[in-house]
Amino acid sequence: MIELEDKEWTVYVCQGSKCKKKKENFLKPFAKALKKEGLKGFVRIQKTQCNDQCKCAPVISVEPERKWYGKADEELARRLIGKIKDSLERKPDGRA
């Protein structure tokens, strides 16, 4: 057995056909901002199969927030980056 590293945050990104077509709206800006802010080690981006919410594409879910977002865009990416940074600043080592 291998124990995998736990991440503080997980962002589940739908990869259904409609969501995948709109990845420019959220996924690319979010991944770019994670790298720029040095947060890649604290966030796991997990791609999922279709979540059957196609009218709201692109759709994401965020843990530990336990929230779903539809029509995810660059503005949401910026807000999540801010929330992640704030949560890590409250912890001395950036970990739970």
Residue 93 pLDDT:
56
Q: How many domains, the chain?
A: 1
Would you state the pLDDT for residue 88?
Answer: 86
In the chain, pLDDT over 70 holds for what percent of residues?
93
Give pLDDT tens digits for 54-91: 999 999 999 999 999 999 999 999 999 999 999 988 76
Question: Does the residue 77 lie in any domain?
Answer: yes
Containing domain of residue 50, as a range? 23-87
**Domain contains 95:** no
pLDDT confidence of residue 96: 47
pTM of the model: 0.85
Q: Residue 7: what pLDDT?
A: 85
Q: 23-30: list long-range contacts, CB under 8 Å, 24+ apart.
A: 23/58, 25/58, 25/71, 25/72, 25/73, 25/74, 26/58, 26/60, 26/72, 26/73, 26/74, 26/76, 26/77, 27/58, 29/74, 29/77, 29/78, 30/77, 30/80, 30/81
In a domain, 42, yes or no: yes
| DSSP three-state, residue 45 | strand
